[in-house]
Amino acid sequence: DGGITQSPKYLFRKEGQNVTLSCEQNLNHDAMYWYRQDPGQGLRLIYYSQIVNDFQKGDIAEGYSVSREKKESFPLTVTSAQKNPTAFYLCASSIGGGTFGNEQFFGPGTRLTVL
């Protein structure tokens, strides 16, 4: 089956720890995205990548880092610098950027809770 997988589904982090969220896709998509979803806030873009070994900051990149070493994978690290990391994190992919980015396919999400 083609699609996007995210792991883990639930993640608990102690304050001061870095954690990495996994995102893998087998859709052969060039573009990948990370969003954060908070209650009443909608989706906010953290980082995006339109091609391997290249990525750009979104609207709320502070306290996060990403890498894009493989086309299939776009892991997100939530660092200790992120002051309020508790949220639902969604990974998405699209065939490409530009107008191709209008149709994004989302993974099932990771719910991160800081203890």
Partner 1 sequence: QKEVEQDPGPLSVPEGAIVSLNCTYSNSAFQYFMWYRQYSRKGPELLMYTYSSGNKEDGRFTAQVDKSSKYISLFIRDSQPSDSATYLCAMRWGGSQGNLIFGKGTKLSVKP
Token pair 């660092």 in the structure block, residue:
79
Candidate segments 13-21, 37-45, 60-68, 73-81, binder of partner 1 by CB under 8 A? 37-45
Give every CB contact of residue 87 below 8 A, 6+ residues apart in sequence. 36, 37, 38, 111, 112
Task: Closer to partner 1 by CB, 72 or 80: give it.
Answer: 72
Task: Closer to partner 1 by CB, 13 or 111: give it.
Answer: 111
**Pairing mode, strands 4-7 and 19-25:** antiparallel
Among 11, 27, 43, 52, binds partner 1 (CB under 8 A): 43
CA distance linking residue 91 with residue 76, whole number of Å? 9
Among 21, 76, 104, 114, binds partner 1 (CB under 8 A): 104
Which residues are at the interface with partner 1 (CB under 8 A)? 4, 33, 40-45, 48, 58, 90, 92, 97-99, 101-109, 111
